Structure 1
């Protein structure tokens, strides 16, 4: 029944449009005849205006359809933009929540012995930041720049004490050598060339130990970049002088072999390969 009504309405609209088009054409023809043949310009303009008006009325439905299509297309694009904006706003809201929680945690812990976030909390925060930046369409370079400080901090916390203990062992060896040097040459005859030569040779050996261990102890891994840490740790083992105590060098070599692959993975992927080992290592470092 409804289809029949629509068909009747369409037929009636088509008939009306045809009638309007016919009247418009006749009026235009009359206007042209009056203007060019009879030379009645005033009357011709009236007929021409009326004819154009009737023709426009006959085609009004088409203009409405075109306008409707354009508006529908614009509305569809507008809805898509609104959807994208809603997604971005949701991500920014999550980022604001994450930043606010982190700032409050850091502020609450400032000045307290355990104020720094736990290794697990720091790791989870790094994963949240990584996921948030990736969901916002950040480039891999931007994501890496954001995560490098966290990764380098974890690297320093884990390896710094290892290098520090090695430096302290070498420094204790230096002080033992220095004590022996003082005991051996405190009564050396300044006029005896042989004794003075032996004293100078012993002093050079002691100074050599000091010149090696002091930079390692004072700087540690503070000037090591994240990417260079694995190679510099290995270099510290391979280039150790002969005077380094064997037990100290063996311990450093063992730690380098154990943590070398982990450090390389961290520098490359900005993630922990063996998470449980990292958490245990970092927690033990803080307790120590």
Structure 2
């Protein structure tokens, strides 16, 4: 679909992405910027940069980019839908389930299951992650929000960016943390020694994790509640290792000798956000899976 806009003098000097956002409220600025870079948006028949400033009487032509056909097989996999309406879905993801398809996981993912059970998903992110606003690791269990349309996706993504979401996790770590509360403010980026891992590095992206002790167990382990202010890849796992209390069972950042927890002992327990259409605050909480509860029982019974 092609659409043309003639810029009025009132908008002279306005960035093109901001101008088009006002004309097309259904599009996100990120989406507009992507289309500008790919040549789907022209000014006076010329390609411009996303920071281009329009002038009065400019003619803007927008050719709406059609979404690529999804090549994801819908699979009838069991998933725990905690909440669903016409805009959002909240899932309690099982431990061991990958969120979206990738080179090593073409099937059996949460997205494959969502394509079967939900069907209507936003396409704003990309073709292999429809609806996915944020991710949690394969071996992390717990709450995840999914957008069913692009406007919902845009709203939820903005809440992530503005840090207005509430996300808290339960984590079992090695060692007895001596203080009741703490904040880890340390930038995270690729580990220069191992590109498959993340680490606290100079020049990394801002990363802030708040934590409080829930229970100290036999002076060997601590159950903590972690609240994310930012959402970097492996953030809790990297931050807890950084302060000397790595997660139990973590194959990538944990101790060499650790308990078998079928992956890191981490559970996304609480999730809160403003509904993208009604602005009503939605709050959810789910208890850890049986494998996490059995692990806690095991360490409590240790001498």
TM-score bucket (shorter structure): under 0.3
Structure with greater Cα Rg: 1
TM, length-normalised to structure 1 = 0.25
